[in-house]
Amino acid sequence: MEYVTLNNNLECPVVGIGTYMLAPADAENSVREALKMGYSLVDTANAYVNERAVGRGIKASGINRDEVFISTKLWPSEYENSNAVDETLARLGVDYVDLLYIHQPAGNWLAGYRQLEKAYREGKAKSIGISNFEGKYIDELQTKWEIVPQFIQVEAHPYFTQKELRKILDKYDIRLMSWYPLGHGDKSLINEPLFAALGEKYGKSSAQIILRWHTQMGFVVIPGSRNTAHIRDNLNILDFTLTDEEMDEISGLDKDQRYYHRTDEQLDQFAMWHPQFEK
């Protein structure tokens, strides 16, 4: 495994498994199998309603808790719930997480961020992050944070390389964790001829070339998959290195194209929605 060092000196694996849209049984299976294969980073969220299943998957893997980097996210409905962090830890079955985000800049997100800072000070979160806080939201948070976050989790892939955001991140040494790293499975991204050509050169699939580009950009990647062969492939990306020219060619595919367009109306809906947690 390769690691990145965060701005608080914590080390984080560069590849992990994402669990968005995985029903509890799938999440448990994917996490258990991934950890057995050698993964050591798992990303979930209150909103995925699979934190209990992720906790079961971690236990079933037989891997020690302290060898797994667990990332989860508070949903806006929890930002003013002073027990939100403890309830999240209880669902996961752990007494700390390695990374705790606020998931969306919705509702009383500053109260959510204050909960992260408190959890960090109490050792319940070893690092903290903001998710989907591009543009005006990170601008505002910068004037209010007491602890600089270690991570931001945002959509990023070769069609959308987050050029603008990265200027701010460099200033504070905040790491980018890419969501939709493979374009959420979009075929036009995966079928770009450049990836096939580089895959041929390195003996890798197009998905593996894309994921290696992320890690060489300094991003942490958390591809999601229900497919054990893909989960294995997605970890097997650290035994080759793209050249600087190849990295530039891939970054040159950027066409400022997001797959997910969030509106202000959606942020309002996010603030109203309460996840129905697994019992």
Ligand X SMILES: NC(=O)c1ccc[n+]([C@@H]2O[C@H](COP(=O)([O-])OP(=O)(O)OC[C@H]3O[C@@H](n4cnc5c(N)ncnc54)[C@H](OP(=O)(O)O)[C@@H]3O)[C@@H](O)[C@H]2O)c1
Answer for which of 13, 107, 149, 224 binds ligand X (CB under 6 A) is: 224
- The answer to whether the CB of 17 falls within 8 A of the CB of 31 is yes
Q: Which amino acid, 144?
A: K
Instruction: Give whichever of 33 and 233 is closer to ligand X, judged by the CB atom.
Output: 233
Q: Is 179 in the site for ligand X (CB under 6 A)?
A: yes
Distance, in Å, from the CA atom of 252 to the CA atom of 158, rounded to the nearest integer, reads 8
Binding mask 234-263 for ligand X (x = CB under 6 A): x-----------------------------
Tokens of 118: 């408190």
Please tell me whether residue 222 binds ligand X under the rule CB under 6 A.
yes
Minimum CB distance to ligand X, residue 111 (Å): 19
Where would I find the beta strands (DSSP E) of the chain? Answer: 3-5, 11-13, 17-18, 41-43, 69-74, 99-102, 128-131, 151-155, 175-179, 220-221
The least CB distance from residue 163 to ligand X, in Å, is 19
Site for ligand X in 196-215 (CB under 6 A): 205, 207
| 150 contacts 174 by C-beta, under 8 angstroms | yes
Kindly tell me which residue out of 114, 166, 184, 258 binds ligand X, with binding defined by CB under 6 A.
184
Catalytic annotation present for 260: no
Q: Are 111 and 141 in contact (CB under 8 A)?
A: no
* Least distance in angstroms from the C-beta of 179 to ligand X: 3
Question: What is the helix (H) or strand (E) element at residue 57, kind and residue range?
Answer: helix 51-61
Q: Who contacts 254 (Cβ-Cβ below 8 Å, separation ≥6)? A: 158, 159, 160, 161, 163
Judged by CB under 6 A, does residue 127 bind ligand X? Answer: no
* Side chain identity, residue 127: S
Catalytic residue among 20, 39, 48, 101: 48
Interface with ligand X by CB under 6 A: which range of 4-12, 78-86, 92-100, 228-236?
A: 228-236
Distance in Å, CB of 103 to ligand X, minimum: 6
Pick from 124, 74, 121: nearest CA to 97: 124
Phi (first) and psi of residue 72, to 5 degrees: -145, 175
Is 225 an interacting residue with respect to ligand X (CB under 6 A)? yes
Stretch that binds ligand X, among 32-40, 75-83, 138-146, 220-228 (CB under 6 A): 220-228
Torsion of CA 176, 182, 184, 189, to 10 degrees: 130
The answer to whether residue 105 forms part of the interface with ligand X (CB under 6 A) is no
Total residues contacting ligand X (rule CB under 6 A)? Answer: 25
Query: Is residue 29 part of the contact set for ligand X (CB under 6 A)?
Result: no
Under the binding rule (CB under 6 A), the answer on residue 180 touching ligand X is: yes
List residues with catalytic annotation.
48
Binding site for ligand X (CB under 6 A): 18-20, 43, 131-132, 153, 179-185, 205, 207, 222-227, 230, 233-234
